[in-house]
Amino acid sequence: MKVVIAPDSFKGSLSSRQVCVAIGKGIKRADPSVEIVAIPMADGGEGTVDALMDSLGGHKVIAEVKDPLFRDIKAQYGLADKDETAVIEMAAASGLALLSDMERNPMKTTTYGTGQLIKDALDRGCRNFIIGIGGSATNDGGIGMAAALGAKFYDWDGNAIELNGGGLLKLDAIDLSQLDPRVAESRFRVFCDVDNILYGSTGAAYVYGRQKGADDAMIEKLDMALKRLSEIIERDLNKSVALVPGAGAAGGLGAGLLAFLDAKLEKGIDILMETIGFEERIKGANLIITGEGRMDHQTKYGKTISGIIEAAKKQGIPVVGICGSIGDGVEELYSEGLNSVFSIINRPMSLEESMVETSELLTSTAQNVMSLFMANVSQP
């Protein structure tokens, strides 16, 4: 019996790697003879580096960078053993989790630290980059990131603008003449699992600004700033990025990566599965157990679990989901190929209690799932 464990993280509680360990314990309690293949998954946010490093091999390094409010911090990223590849989570330097609720303000936050991580990897000889852009605290269109690599951004009087969402309102000129020449020698692949355009009602500011601390008035200004950025990019760089799906990801960092680094925006699950050889690793499996903190109607739209279900369906492997909570519309996944879904909550409890007990709750649920599956398999 071969069982693949391929979950996303339970955000705020356990990494995808820790989820694998907890589910694996439950499977072994049900049947110690089961062969387990653990494949931690990620969608570009927290856990992306770990998920790729598990398969690529390599190690993490630490760089001193600026956080979203230009304070000095230390951030990690991954260096793979092959192909001079760096795996970077922008959230490590420019993420919302680095700020308190009171500090959230996308008019003031920057992606400068993300650019510093890229520069550090260039200094170490990397020329292939995989960048996850989930969990951002920013709305600067990537100008901070580009400035850390040598790009210049000026206002109408020829003065350097602030490298944040507010600074974009004054943008009048872009100069890439001093951009690090090693950028042109490099390849940038970007985990991008949203299709938001840069500005407008489905753009970065209107869709994601509020969770980053913006009120209605601020959202309107941020949207105007991103529109301004797209106009200057088109005029000065002769590139049209505003309507590219994913340009609005991470507060417009998607657009900035396109415009300043000639990056390619790709579905994160596609990058991950290709890189780790997912379809090959699940061959011969009798069952795949996946999961995330919450499964609902959004799970099917380009997320990790939908990619897993699709890959499993090709090989006729049943898929069971284990999650913290089950929301409306999860039944839509059954028509996609999901066989069943189970919540780990086994009694009335608060969110705080469930997060503290997530590991053991995962283990007990996995034990129940595996026992049921084995009973079904043993039937004539």
Residues 195 and 160: their CA atoms lie apart, in Å, by 31
Residue range(s) in the chain whose domain bears CATH number 3.40.50.10350: 2-39+298-378
Tokens 């009171």 correspond to: 102
| pLDDT at 302 (0 to 100) | 57
249: which residues sit within 8 A by CB, 6+ positions away? 133, 192, 194, 196, 204, 265
| pLDDT at 379 (0 to 100) | 62
What pLDDT, in 10s, does the model give residues 188-229? 999 987 889 999 999 999 999 999 999 999 999 999 999 999
Q: Decide if 91 contacts 132 (C-beta within 8 A).
A: yes
| pLDDT at 378 (0 to 100) | 67
Taking the domain 2-39+298-378, which CATH number applies?
3.40.50.10350
Residue range(s) in the chain whose domain bears CATH number 3.90.1510.10: 48-268
Residues 323 and 290: their CA atoms lie apart, in Å, by 8
Quote the distance between the C-alpha of residue 311 and its chain's center.
Answer: 20
Per DSSP bridges, beta strands 85-89 and 128-132 are: parallel
Per DSSP bridges, beta strands 319-326 and 287-295 are: parallel
Segments of the chain assigned E as strands: 2-5, 35-38, 58-66, 72-80, 85-89, 128-132, 152-154, 173-175, 187-191, 264-266, 287-295, 319-326, 340-343
Residues 39 and 50: their CA atoms lie apart, in Å, by 11
Residues 258 and 268: their CA atoms lie apart, in Å, by 16
User: Domain 48-268 is classified in which CATH homologous superfamily?
Assistant: Glycerate kinase, domain 2 (3.90.1510.10)
AA letter at 366 = A
| pLDDT at 353 (0 to 100) | 82
| pLDDT at 311 (0 to 100) | 95
Which stretches of the chain drop beneath a pLDDT of 50? none
Task: Give the closest residue to 288 by CA, choosing from 328, 319, 247.
Answer: 319
| pLDDT at 328 (0 to 100) | 87
Sign of the C-alpha dihedral computed for residues 288, 272, 68 and 197 taken in this order: negative
Residues 255 and 340: their CA atoms lie apart, in Å, by 38
Strand partners, 294: 325
DSSP states along 36-77: EEE----SSSTTHHHHHHHHH-EEEEEEEEE-TTS-EEEEEE
- What's this model's pTM, rounded to 2 decimal places? 0.85
Q: Decide if 79 contacts 57 (C-beta within 8 A).
A: no
Residues 203 and 222: their CA atoms lie apart, in Å, by 10
